[in-house]
Homo-oligomer: A and B are copies of this chain.
Amino acid sequence: MTPPSNNLIALEPKKVPAYVEAITESGGQIADLGANVKALIWTDYSNPQLLQQTLDQNPQLEWVQLPFAGVDAFSFLLDRPITFTSAKRSYSEPVAEHALALCLAMARVIPERVRATSWGRQFADSLFDEEVLIIGGGGIAEQLAKLLVPFRSNVTVCRKRPTEPFMPGFSGQIVGFEQLDEELAKAKFVVLACALTDETRHLMNAERFELIRSDSYLVNVARGEVVNQEDLVSALKSGAIAAAATDVTYPEPLPEDHPMWQLENLIITPHSADVLAMVTRLFADRLRVNVAAWVSGAELTGRVDSKLGY
């Protein structure tokens, strides 16, 4: 990449103070959008149409930094001749922690303990020496694999491109999606941590809930649509799976009359794996890295591959 003609950087639509500080400390200069501003940091989590409009009005833009790790909401924009970077891998630590918290909450039957008004049954499952299947081979998978090391869990990562580099020192196995069904039948814990793409939409459906171990625990920290929610409800009711926990649903927020709220073996967290305070700090860290790279003409971190969709 050739060095940019200047260090002017637009920060839109919200000039979050932590981001202003990160940009200026890294050699960038905050500027209003205009003909000589080639870089845009986009800080809105809810309105991709506003970004579309901004891009239409600013054909000079060469680099756009998106605020999410997953870019599915922006997929209709990614074909433009612009370098898009996402926040991928930025928020992996808190999301992996949330996935672990949900695994342990199910293993230690915390929902049953929370509802109890008397001493309960002696029951607990453990992650020690257990089979854990992580679907998706990105930053969350790497961070979760790190958190699982002291548990000696037998970790299998199922990803689109199994031969690509994964975490250095990883001692588990890496397989492609053609082995997913086989691995689902073995795992005690299944964690969904993949991008939402045409291939992963409704990946967990009725057929796969038949394959899964009936004593297994499912965690979704990916996107709601990776699971067919109707099929999940059936599987939880029939006992095809012991319990599930999801940080994501469709739609979000999940309506109050949705049957998922009624299931005792389902934990729903409101997309709170990486809450704003965590995200702000971690996104500012990413901005420091990328603004410094942009200003010096170095490689940007988190480039989006529009064909892969992440």
Give A residues with C-beta under 8 Å from B.
Answer: 93-94, 97-98, 100-102, 104-105, 107-108, 110-111, 113-124, 126-128, 146-147, 149-151, 252-254, 256, 261, 267-276, 278
A101 touches B98 (CB 8 A): no
A275 touches B114 (CB 8 A): no
B261 touches A113 (CB 8 A): no
- Give A246 to B278 CA distance when docked, in angstroms: 28
Contact of A108 among B93, B101, B117, B126 (CB under 8 A): B101
Least CB distance, A190 to chain B, in whole angstroms = 18
A275 touches B124 (CB 8 A): yes
Known: A117-B261, A118-B253, A123-B272. 16 other contacts (CB 8 A): A98-B124, A101-B104, A101-B108, A104-B104, A105-B108, A110-B267, A111-B114, A113-B268, A117-B256, A119-B252, A120-B272, A121-B270, A123-B275, A124-B275, A146-B150, A150-B150
Chain B residues with Cβ below 8 Å from A121 are 270
11 examples of A-B residue contacts, CB within 8 angstroms: A98-B108, A100-B104, A104-B105, A110-B111, A110-B114, A113-B268, A122-B271, A124-B274, A124-B278, A126-B278, A146-B150
Chain B residues with Cβ below 8 Å from A256 are 117-118
A97 touches B270 (CB 8 A): no
Chain B residues with Cβ below 8 Å from A261 are 116-118
Q: A116-B261, A270-B119 are in contact. Are A101 and B105 (CB under 8 A)?
A: yes
Chain B residues with Cβ below 8 Å from A102 are 108
